[in-house]
Structures are given as C-alpha cells and as structure tokens.
Amino acid sequence: MAKAFAKSNWSQKSASMFSDYFSEQEKGERLIWIAFFKGQPAGYITLKRLSRYEPFAIKGIPEIMDLNVLPEFRNRGIGSALLLEAEQEAAAKSDTAGIGVGIYGGADGGYGPAQKLYIKKGYLPDGRGVTFRYRVATPGKDYPLDDDLILWFTKKLKKPSKTGSRGGDK
C-alpha cells in the first residue's frame, strides 16, 4: 500500500503507518479494509473502535478513519464500498458511526470530495465545530491548515440484518 501511495506522491502514507495499523488490528483496536481494482491496490479505510475524539469516546461511537482512494481509481464506487464495509462493522457495536474530515482543498481536491461523499451518505456535522489535534479550536487562535484541523460528522446506522431469520435466505 505504501508503494502505491508513494507513486501518487502521498508520502505521508508510509510503510510504518500501515505497520502501525496492522499492529492495532492485531490488538483489536482497529480494523482495516483494503480495496483492489484489477489486482492493484486502490484504496483503504480503517475503523477505530475507541475514538480519540472525546465526544465519540464518551458515547462509544466507533470512528471511521482514513478513507483513501488513489486518484486513478476514484469515481468507481470504491470509496462508497469501503465506507459501507466500515459502517456495517460499526453497526454491530453502535447505532452511530463517527468520522472526522479535514477542511482544506487543494490541487487534487483536498478533502472536498470526502466532505461531499460523507454528506451524500447521510453524515451530518456533530455540531461541536472544528478541532485541532482532537481539541476544540478556540476562536481568535491561529491553527495550521493541515490534516489535524478536523470537522466531525456522525451518522445513525441500521443494525445489520440476520440472514436466514424469517423467510429464508435473501
């Protein structure tokens, strides 16, 4: 995955980051899904069982994190499919999923496409404003416009249906 992202000039998606994610998955703290398109890694998403964002942690809201689809694989439904997988897993433990999204744009669209996707999929701002490094951003204070400046969203989830109960298989 790190090599695939490096080819798209996303150096912040390092091998050590993926190694950390795998370690967290082994400990039961995070789940990771990787999407492939025609045998090529196309994107990934993770689900953190216990969010570092305090309002989610207090309510036991799992946090969907780090949805990324490589530019050459976008607009093919991959992001939506990954998001659905994470939501289904979150629904097994909570009636709500949470997600944080950056607020800047950029040459590649920045966080704009993610913001649009989350709203299209039913996510709404949690109403607490923007945070910087998981702490409430204070009016009048300066913050760098980077990946740590986040607006938080939640979505009510439907519990997964049990196949085979009532009327046979679907």
**Domain assignment of residue 166, yes or no:** no
The domain total for the chain is 1
CATH of the domain at 50: 3.40.630.30
**Domain assignment of residue 82, yes or no:** yes
* Mean of the per-residue pLDDT values of the chain: 89
**Domain assignment of residue 47, yes or no:** yes
**Domain assignment of residue 162, yes or no:** no
- pTM for the model stands at 0.85
**Domain assignment of residue 169, yes or no:** no
- Rounded-to-integer distance, Cα 93 and Cα 151, Å: 23
**Domain assignment of residue 161, yes or no:** no
**Burial class for 40, CB neighbours closer than 10 Å (0-12, 13-18, 19+):** exposed
**Domain assignment of residue 96, yes or no:** yes
Domain of residue 138 covers 2-156
pLDDT at residue 45 is higher than 60: yes
**Domain assignment of residue 19, yes or no:** yes
Question: Which helix (DSSP H) or strand (DSSP E) does residue 140 occupy?
Answer: none
pLDDT at residue 165 is higher than 60: no
Task: Tell me what the mean pLDDT of segment 143-148 comes to.
Answer: 94
DSSP single-letter state for residue 164:
B
